[in-house]
Amino acid sequence: MTASAIPARSTPTPRIQSVDALRGAIMMLMAIDHIRDYIARSAQQFSPTDLTRTTPAIFLTRWITHFCAPVFVLTAGLGAYFWMTRGDHSKAELSRLLISRGIWLIVLEVTILRLIFFSQVNFTANPVILVILWAIGISMIALAGLIYLPMRVMAAVSIAIIALHNLLDHVSAQRFGRAAWIWDILHQQNVFAFHGINFVTAYPVLPWIGVMAGGYCLGTVFEWDAHRRRSFLVRLGLALAAAFVVVRAANVYGDPLGWSHQASPVFTVLSFLNVTKYPPSLDFVLMTLGPAMVVMAWLEKFHFAFMNPLIVFGRVPFFYYGAHLLLAHLIAIGVNFVRYGAKPFLLIAPPSMGGASELFPVGYGFQLWAVYAIWVVVLLLLYPVCVWFARLKHRRHDWWLTYL
């Protein structure tokens, strides 16, 4: 069913609770990873997926947060479809919203969020790291054009991007000469300079465009009756998860980092799960979105109260994102002030986020249990604030709230 074939509704339809609840769950998980970056001792010393140094607990703490970005991007595509079909909105109106919102997210990424996340203001002294909001913003701008394709064609394009982009893994940006920066943005983590400012493409965007477009196409499924929709989501999710196991087991295609047998069965499993996020490989997308589809179908069985944390956090994802980064950073500064006193390194990004390790004391950071303890504190503090903002968005429909 194409979006244009859906009649305009005189009143907005209710929000899809399963989507809000799923998004709320991954927003809550997201905080674990960022708190880990700020205060975990292990995060300052090695990558949590480095199988030569990590532990199962550290690895899985990172691995569970792998679900956040794909689900966030997928539900952003779903949200775009719902926005158009809930009221009398045209594709032209949706396209304008996607472009303006995409630009807004990019601007916030390189200004306010850069200050909150990395404690960086100067554009020449420090590189500008382009992370998730940048990827979402570019994907929204791309989606603004893709929505004009017939729905079947758009679905085919999104699947092709996700499934085939790993064929490009061996293509180096250098072969494009002066246009190398375009390839860095699309498919390769790298650094490129623009007017004397260095940009780090931490989140190459091509696969994310495919995921967001796929989410938009998935929106048509929510026009079906509940039983048919749940059945489809379960079958799709299981198919994606099974495809991950098969493709990953073959160890031929689907991820630039192959798995291998390790010294113990546990670490062999970790190697199997250790797939590439930057950019998200085919294995990464299958591994994360497959279970997410099944969970989304399962969540449809429940009726959630407005005050349920899953619904509260899921309805204000961008507000929560900025607020949790600010709060996590402030708490990290506070606990380190108590531990180390007033030191210059308190106000700069830790080594795990690009800070100079020589400026930090030996053994800087806390054990993993502290990450989970602070995570609980962050959620408890954010909940009443997000309830207030969710009520505001429910009560008012000012245009500017669309951007928050």
CA 204/CA 291 separation, integer angstroms: 24
Would the pLDDT of 7 be above 70?
no
Distances (CA, A) of 176 to 182, 208, 310: 9, 22, 45
pLDDT digits over 110-127, tens only? 999 999 998 888 888 889
Length of the chain equals: 404
Q: DSSP H helical segments within 147-222, as ranges?
A: 151-164, 180-187, 206-218
* pTM for this prediction: 0.93
**Residue 398: DSSP 8-state:** -
Amino acid found at 49: T
**Per-residue model confidence (pLDDT) at position 5:** 34
pLDDT digits over 258-274, tens only? 999 999 999 999 999 99
175-179, 211-215, 232-236: least confidently modelled range: 175-179
State mean pLDDT over 75-98.
92
CA 236/CA 74 separation, integer angstroms: 14
CB 8 within 8 A of CB 88: yes
CB 280 within 8 A of CB 10: no
Would the pLDDT of 87 be above 90?
no
CA 351/CA 342 separation, integer angstroms: 18
Backbone angles phi, psi at 104, to 5 degrees: -60, -45
72 confidence band (pLDDT: 50, 70, 90): very high
CA 166/CA 115 separation, integer angstroms: 33
CA 78/CA 213 separation, integer angstroms: 9
301 confidence band (pLDDT: 50, 70, 90): very high
217 in helix, strand or coil? helix
**Per-residue model confidence (pLDDT) at position 9:** 39
Positions of E strands within 176-265: 191-194, 197-201
CA 351/CA 348 separation, integer angstroms: 9
Would the pLDDT of 3 be above 60?
no
Q: Return the structure tokens found at 114.
A: 């850069």
Nearest to 247 by CA among 360, 351, 239, 111: 239
**Per-residue model confidence (pLDDT) at position 404:** 79
Higher pLDDT, 298 or 1: 298
**Per-residue model confidence (pLDDT) at position 124:** 83
pLDDT digits over 226-236, tens only? 999 999 999 99
CA 62/CA 393 separation, integer angstroms: 32
CB 34 within 8 A of CB 332: no
CA 5/CA 393 separation, integer angstroms: 29
CA 273/CA 82 separation, integer angstroms: 33
| Average pLDDT of every residue of the chain | 93
State mean pLDDT over 78-106.
93
* Sheet containing 197-201: order of strands: 128-130, 197-201, 191-194
Q: How far apart are the first and last CA of the chain?
A: 30
Amino acid found at 39: I
CA 165/CA 39 separation, integer angstroms: 35
13 confidence band (pLDDT: 50, 70, 90): low
Q: Which residues pair with 130 in a beta bridge?
A: 201
CB 282 within 8 A of CB 163: yes
What is the phi-psi region of residue 224: left when phi exceeds 0, alpha when psi lies from -120 to 50, beta otherwise? beta
**Per-residue model confidence (pLDDT) at position 8:** 37
**Per-residue model confidence (pLDDT) at position 122:** 84
**Per-residue model confidence (pLDDT) at position 402:** 78
- Tell me how many degrees the CA angle 329-394-296 measures, rounded to the nearest 5: 75
Q: Return the structure tokens found at 258.
A: 């192959």
**Per-residue model confidence (pLDDT) at position 396:** 84
State mean pLDDT over 39-67.
96
**Per-residue model confidence (pLDDT) at position 394:** 84
Which residue's structure tokens are 């790298």? 190
Bond into 279 cis (ω within 30):
yes
Q: Cα 95 to chain center, whole Å?
A: 22
State mean pLDDT over 318-342.
95
